Amino acid sequence: MLKPAGLFKARKLGTESDVQQTQQSFLADSTTETGLASLAASPSTGGATELTKNDKYCVSRLPALPPVLSNDPGVGQAGFLNGYTDNATRCALAVSDSAINVWPYASTDDTPITFEFPLPQGAGSEAMPLAILTRPTPGTTLDPGLCIVHSTTGHVTFYESVQYAPALGMINSSRIETHIGILAAQGEYITLAENVEPAGIAVATSWKRVVLIVLRDYKGAAQLQTLELTKPPLRLFSGWLGGAREELDGEIVLIKVGQVSQHGSMQDIIVQDASGTFKKFQYQLSASATPYIGRHVLLYKLLSFLEKNIDGLIPGSVLHTHFLDLWPLVADQAASPDVYVSLVAVLSSAYGIEQHRLLLLRLKINDSGVLVLSSHQLPDVGSNQLASRPRLFIPSPEKTAFVSIGNAVILSDLSVVSTRHSTSNFQYYEPKWEDVVHFKSAVQIIGFGYEDQTAAANNPALVFISAEHGVVRIERFIENSTEVTSDDTDPSDPVALLKSHILQAIFYGDSSFVEFNVDASHSLDIVNPALTAVVSEVLDSTSPYLPPNFSSTRDSFSLRLKLLKALIDYARANFADHLYVLLPVIVEALEKLEVASNVWHIADGDGADAGHVKHVLKTVIKRNDMVHGSASKDILRSFFSHNVSEILIVLTELVDDLSATPELTTVLLQLLVRTLHDAVYKNEVAYIFGNSEIAPYKLWVFESSLVVKAEEVFTQAFCTKNNSNIQESLLSRPELVQLTDSLFFIVNSAILFMQQTNDDQLHEYVKWYNRRKSDWTDALLTRGLSKEALAIAQKYHDFDSIAYVLEKEREQASPEYIFDKIDFFMNQYGYDFASKLFDFYLSHDQLQRILVDCKPYGSFLEQYFAEKPRKSNKVSWIYYLQAREFKEASNVLISLSAEKDHENQEIQEFNYSLAKLQQPEESSVLDEIAVEAESNLLVVRIQNKIYQTIASFVGDKQELITLDYFVNDLSNPKLRKFGIKAEVGVYFERFAQQKALSKEHLVSLLTSLNPTTQFDHVFADALKVAALITNDAFFHNIASEIWKKLICVTDDWHLISATENNSDDVNKMRLRDTIFFRTVRSVQGSDEIMKVLDDVLEKAREDGMTDGDIWGDKLKQLAEECDIELWINTVRSEAK
């Protein structure tokens, strides 16, 4: 027995003066001066910490944390066994191995007054007592009473008020103590105690006995007595003798109060065991106010009524049913009495497959029998749902069922089937709304309770006690009683439910209490729209969790960016199988939000530039009519709060408008760095780049012309030579590197996407990229950022740019450095790099680099020659000759001769002759071949040089290189156009198609050109080509024609010879500016070419006509008029 004296103490963490000395209810907060009304009438909710919330429910931790629940080991109590909260008194009770603690859990005090009832030392070795709170004694106190029942001895002690328990404990009175006769020696003990007031406290034993402890007499004064509701089963004793004990298989799992009538003098008491045995007793007061139990007991075995009425049951299944809890729907008893909701666990086995499920059953049980009205299968919240006994709570107004299962709570709206119009037709139902709240595994729940809705301002709730955290309330909102408004979606829609969980996770994700992770089995069809809706709400501030307005737009951006990053983490943790779809959606929104944030930071800054940006921003937003409202509305802040999804349009036009003002170039470039690099590039690299599961996709910045405009701004600032004086001050060197890196990254991502989708514009886009990227690289190289340029090219495996950078570095770096770099990239990337390097060398006619610098990489060269024979044949045959692989060289030359681009007969004759060589006996043969090869290469280069010069005039548009264009715009005006057209027209189409011309045709083309600045070398080139003709007579004729045409149709010899009135300097300048002078200076090293000139002059000295030789006649005329031979010899002397 408990010692009556010295065992009771009220504790509040603080000084002794904190404890009120007046006789008031301890339910009053310690901050009040006088006693308040009972919290049951006006429960305190102030100071609660919101753990999570949506438009349906709110989970909050109440502020009252008594010492017994403190995580301070010097204050708190260890080893909790159980506890619960009481709806009638709004008090909580916790039983540990050392004490019973009672406190008003709804108090706003952080450390509420707590009454502690110590337990005897050493009680831990025995079964702990059961403690039940009771209603206050009518008319005397507002404080709850306490009934303590010892489970092994049956001793019962009752205190009418926990506040006055010390005084009551001093009175050793039989009125507050009694004893339940249990056979502890035979193994009987008390398993369950429930408050069934006004009748009293009902207890159940391990022998399935149920005893009612009546607490008060008919006047309400404390007076304990016991009434036995059920006796031990008769088979219990036969079990002792070896008989069956089936009736003991299902323990008593619940004792509930049923309908109360006649002002409390009559009430139903419901008892049910785990096997489904349902009993309803009627407690009454006799005319003499003596309590008794009515003789009529309603008894049913519910299992037999369920086998055909279980949601999802496979016919023929073997059932194992466990009844867990039952709740009478007393609020509707007047209209349809005897309706109950039962929580049932079912294990069904069919075809070797076991299924566990929890069901909510709506039953009508009365004298007429049992009617199963409806059934609903609850969601699965874990593999072992029965490890912690599930409990059912349906607080008034009884519209939502709370089911606690371990560390999860299911909230399920009851079926819409009206009990007032119930029929005998059974139906399965889907609740209008259902959700699950999970708590982290570290949260130790020690007991539950509930709260009825007692006023319009309150909500029904499930309440539980957790060790170290205090009391937590899960309240179900009635209709729209919360500030978080519901959207128009179906609340039972799985997309809407998942969206709600995701929103809670990112807004309350820092909670150490609530578990927001969800089942990974959600399909993409559910996850994608849910997550997309969350992204949209965060992006444009339409989420009900966000404040309707921020005093600082920067704060708004900061919070929304934090939420989207939290969303990425949440998606990675919960939807790993769907990340390839989800991550790009979130990252795009994150980039848009960060772009908008950075634009706002620039516009919201100080200085004239910020003012200009803000003015242009406002103009763009108005022009696109993006914000609707009154004229006084702050449209900028409104746009950046609610229209960020449209930031691309605004940014594109902002860049376009700012670029029209050269004075704003610096702020414009900074804007591009802050958006394209800091927002787009950084987030793509952080979350997308390198993720092999995510296929290349089209970046959102390509939905407008932003990238093209940004590139134009970059080019104008850094790639235009006439801007060299201001380039250095526009951006810092790191910012320039960042912007260049961003351009490479964004454009490469577009190319990857277009390659995946076989986009029609891929070819043109790649051409544009290849044409522009060298300028981007040059922008770095000209500022001494070669290391950074090389790093960028390496990052994107842009081997073309690597080759370009290395070639540029040759001008300043040592050959050893370049060779080391080439060797590094060869070893790092192998043939992928090698092939691009060879491409670069060939496209720039740097054959020497291939034949000399790349000799160590012979295997790559041979692979390259094999894969690209047409492109490499002009160098591959030389390589094979150097390697003395004559057979390979012969094969290349044979294929080279067969190509249509090499139809010249001399080249074919040369190639086929060389192809016959297998094993030359002397190296001189190899030298001879090399000389001949070089001669042919010279012809090709001269033709290519002329073509490229002409092509540059028409913007590389081959279709504009026509015969008419050549005759009218490029030919020598001293020649007759119709003659040029007739002569050049024979072969001009081949030239326009870049096909090889014969030597005589090439000479004809060269000597038909107007020898202006771009073509002042054409006669020298013509003579060099003629010198390659192996037929001496033919060479002499061709060279003679070239010299005569050069003398007759280029320079004005009359002007040159008129020296009388000129100074020596003028005469010398005129002489040196002649085409003849430049030609002689270029070819004077060739004796055979100069000998032809001597022959031409000698023939001009001969008397008589030249038999139709137009240029010969013209030459004779010049000799007579200008003494041409004298001046030619003068030029020759000057050119030496």
Cα–chain-centroid distance for residue 815? 46
249 or 326: which carries more pLDDT confidence? 326
Give the pLDDT of residue 745: 94
Domain coordinates in residue numbering, the chain? 9-302, 310-496, 962-1135
Distance of CA 45 to the CA centre of its chain: 38
Length of the chain: 1136
Residue 493 burial by CB count (10 A; 0-12/13-18/19+): exposed, middle or buried?
Answer: middle
Q: Which of the four pLDDT bands, split at 50, 70 and 90, describes residue 918? A: very low
- Pick from 165-174, 769-778, 1049-1058 the range whose average pLDDT is largest: 769-778
Confidence band of 366 (pLDDT split at 50, 70, 90): very high
What is the percentage of the chain residues whose pLDDT exceeds 70? 82
Which of these ranges, 242-256, 347-361, 1008-1022, 1043-1057, has the smallest mean pLDDT?
242-256
Query: What is residue 313's predicted lDDT score, i.e. its pLDDT?
Result: 57
Do residues 283 and 293 touch, judged by C-beta distance below 8 A?
A: yes
Q: Which residue has the higher pLDDT, 953 or 16?
A: 953
Summarize pLDDT for 446-483 with one digit per residue, the tens: 999 999 998 766 899 999 999 888 999 999 998 654 44
More confident residue, 890 or 67: 67
Which pTM was predicted? 0.73
pLDDT greater at residue 536 or residue 121: 536
Q: Quote the pLDDT of residue 146.
A: 93
CB neighbours of residue 682 within 10 Å? 15
Domain 9-302 is of which CATH architecture? 7 Propeller (2.130)
pLDDT: which is higher, 591 or 724: 591
- Candidates 378, 377, 307, 320; CA nearest to 346 is 320
**Residue of 479, 471, 478, 462 lying closest to 401 (CA atoms):** 462
Q: How confident is the model at residue 543 (pLDDT cuts 50, 70, 90)?
A: very high
Which of 451-455, 544-548, 681-685, 717-721 bottoms out in mean pLDDT, i.e. has the lowest? 717-721
| Whether pLDDT at 362 is above 70 | yes
Confidence of residue 424 (pLDDT cuts 50, 70, 90): low
Cis omega (within 30 of 0) on the bond before 379?
no
308 vs 754 pLDDT, higher one: 754
- DSSP annotation string for 52-79: EE-SSEEEEE-S---GGG-S-TTTS---
Please give the average per-residue pLDDT across 313-322, as a whole number.
68
Question: What pLDDT is recorded for position 720?
Answer: 77
Helix/strand/coil (H/E/C) assignment for every residue in 303-362: HHHCCCCCCCCCCCCEEEEEEEEEEECHHHCCCCCCEEEEEEEEEEEECCEEEEEEEEEE
Q: Which H or E run includes 942?
A: helix 923-953
Retrieve residue 894's tokens.
């044979």
* Token pair in block for residue 472: 């937590």
Mean pLDDT of 377-385: 77
The Cβ-side half-sphere exposure at 858, using a 13 Å CA radius, reads: 7
157-185 pLDDT per residue, tens = 999 888 877 665 544 466 788 999 888 88
Long-range contacts from 1055-1059, C-beta under 8 angstroms, 24+ separation: 1056/1122, 1056/1127, 1057/1122, 1057/1123, 1057/1127
pLDDT at 876: 80
